[in-house]
Chains A and B, each alone.
Chain A
Amino acid sequence: MEREVLQVGLEAAIKIALFLFVMLTTVAYMTWVERRVSAWIQDRRGPNRVGPFGLLQPLADGVKFLFKETIVPPFVYKPVYVLAPALIFVPALVTFSVVPFGPTLHAFGRDIRLQIADVDNGILIVLAFASMGVYGVALAGWSSNNKYSLMGGLRSSAQLISYELAMGVAVIGVLMATGSLRLGDVVAHQEAYGWNVLWQLPGFLIFLVAAFAETNRLPFDLPEADSELVAGYHTEYSGMWFSMFYMAEYANMITASALIVTLYFGGYNVPGLRLLGLPEPVAVATQVIAFGLKVAFFLFLYVWVRWTIPRFRYDQLMNLGWKVLLPIGLGHVLWVSFLVLRGWA
C-alpha cells in the first residue's frame, strides 16, 4: 500500500515537474515569438541582438524584471494587491493538469498516462478553473485603487462572465458527441470517428472566439485597452509582479490552445499513425510532438490575430457575446443533439 502510494506520488511529481518546466519555458519563449512575429507582420526586424536570432532575449528580459525595483504605491490595498498576480497565474496552470498530452506509455513496468490528472469530470474542471481566472484581473483592478484599473477590472469581470457562457454552450456539443466528460475519452472518440472540428465547425468557432475573450487577447483586450485605460488592471504594477501578469497571459493562451486542440483537433491523435506500425516509444513520441505542433499553431494564430484585427468597442463585445455567439451556440447544441439522437454522430 505505502509502496504503491509512493510510486504513484513519484510518477505524479515527475510529470508535474516536467510540465512546469515545459510550460514556463514556452511562456518565456512566447514573449520572443510574439515580438518576432509581430515584427515580421509589420515588416520590421524585432529583437535579434541577444544571442542567435535574439533567442536569449527572454533570459535577458527575465533578469531585467527580477532586478527592477518593485514599487508598491501607497494607496493600494496591499493584501489583495499582492495576491492578484498569483490568482491569475494559478488557474491557467491548474487547468492544464487535466489535458492529456500523449497516449499511455508502457515503461518501467507501469502504464504511464501522459496526463497529470486523469479525472472523470475533466471538462467540468476546465470550466471551473476558467471561471476562476476572472478574480485575478478583477481584484488587481480593485486593489490598485485607481480609476483606470477599476474600469479594467469591471470590464474584465463582465466580459469573462459573458464569454464563459458561450464557451460552455460550445463545449456541450463535444460532450454530447463523446458521451463522457473525461478529456481522454474525448480524444479517443475523435481517434475513432474523426476530429470534432469536421462536423462541429460552429462550436469550434464559438469556442475559439470565447477563448480569445477569456485570455484577454486582442481583439478582446478591453480590460487593458492601452489607448483608453493606460494599461487597465495592471497599471499600478511594476517589476516582477507586472511580469507575472504577462506570464499569466501567455500561460492562459497555452492552456486555451491545448484545450482547443484536445476538444476539436483530436488532441495528440495523428491520423493514420497506426497504419505505419511504428514501435511504441516512437509512436508515443510522434503523438506528443504532434500535440505540441498543433498547440504551437494555435499560439501562432493568437499572435497573428493580435496584429491583424483591431480592438472591439465595448458594446460590440457584449453584443457579439450575448446576441450572436450564444444563440448560434444554442442552435448548434440542438443540431448536434439531433445528429446524436439519429445515431449519425
Chain B
Amino acid sequence: MHLLTGFILALLVSALLRATIPERPLLAAILPAVAAAGLLAFFASELLSMEFWAGGVGFVAILSALLVVMHPNPMVSVLFLILHLFCIALFYLMLQAQALAALQVIVYAGAIMVLFVFVIMLLNLRAEEGLRLGGGVQRIGALSVGALFAGLMFWAIRNRRDHPFFAPDALVEGFGTARQLGWLLYGKYLFAFEAASILLLAAMVGAVVLAKRRLQ
C-alpha cells in the first residue's frame, strides 16, 4: 500500500502547491512527479498487486463521486459520473464478474448517461445555474444521513468476515460469465426477473401517457 498512499499524497501536495503558489505552476508539476518517480523506483513490485489497483480505482471513484456533487458545471458533473460508473465497472472486473462489468458500461455509462447529456444539452444549463445549495435544514439532514452512512460502512468493514480481498479460488467454476448470469436470471431468479420487467413495462407506458397530454 506504500505506493498508492505515496501517489495520493503526491497528488494532494500538488493540489496544495497549485492553490497556494499559483504563480509558479511548474513547481506544482515537477515536485510530485519526482516524488512519484522515486516511489515507483522503490516499490515497483507493488505494481503487480491487486491492492494497488483496487485502491487506485477506489480513489478515482471517490474523487469523481465528490466532483459530481461539487462541480459547478452540470455537464462536467455528468462526465465525472460517467468516470465514476467506469470505476464501478472496473471493480466488478476485479471481482471476476466480467459480464456484469460490460453490462454496467453498456447500460449505465453508455445508455443512461447519454440521456443525461442529451437533457443537459436540450435545457442548455449553464454553470451559474448549476449549484444551488439548500438551506440549513437540508444541510443538517444531509450531514446526519451522511454521518449515519459513514458509521454503517465503518461498522461493516470492521466486522467483515476475514476473507482476503481477492480470492478467485473461492468462486464457482464459470463465475461471472454471461452463461452463468443467464442461468441465474432465467432459471433460479426467473420470477423476480419477469416481475421486474413487467414493472419496467408499466413505468414505460406510464411515461408515454404522461408525456402525451392528449391521446388520440
Interface on A for B, CB 8 Å cutoff? Answer: 2, 5, 77, 79-80, 83, 119-121, 124-125, 127-129, 131-132, 134-135, 138-139, 141-143, 150, 153-154, 157-158, 160-161, 164, 181
Contacts and interface: CB of A to CB of B under 8 A. Distances in A.
Given A119-B98, A135-B82, A138-B114, A128 B106 contact: yes
Given A135-B114, A138-B121, A157-B118, 15 more contacts: A77-B75, A79-B76, A120-B178, A121-B98, A124-B103, A129-B105, A131-B106, A131-B111, A134-B114, A135-B82, A142-B120, A143-B75, A157-B114, A157-B121, A161-B114
B139 to A, nearest CB: 29
B110 interface: yes
A181 B98 CA distance: 12
Contacts of A132: 105, 109-110
A158 B114 CA distance: 9
A246 B98 CA distance: 33
A142 B105 contact: no
Interface in B105-128: 105-106, 109-111, 114-115, 117-118, 120-122, 124
Contacts, number: 80
Contact of B117 (A2, A77, A138): A138
Contact of B106 (A83, A127, A181): A127
A138 B118 contact: yes
Contacts of A134: 110, 114
Contacts of A161: 111, 114-115
A125 B106 CA distance: 8
Contacts of A79: 76
Nearest to B106: A128
A131 B178 contact: no
Interface in B79-137: 79, 82, 98-99, 102-103, 105-106, 109-111, 114-115, 117-118, 120-122, 124
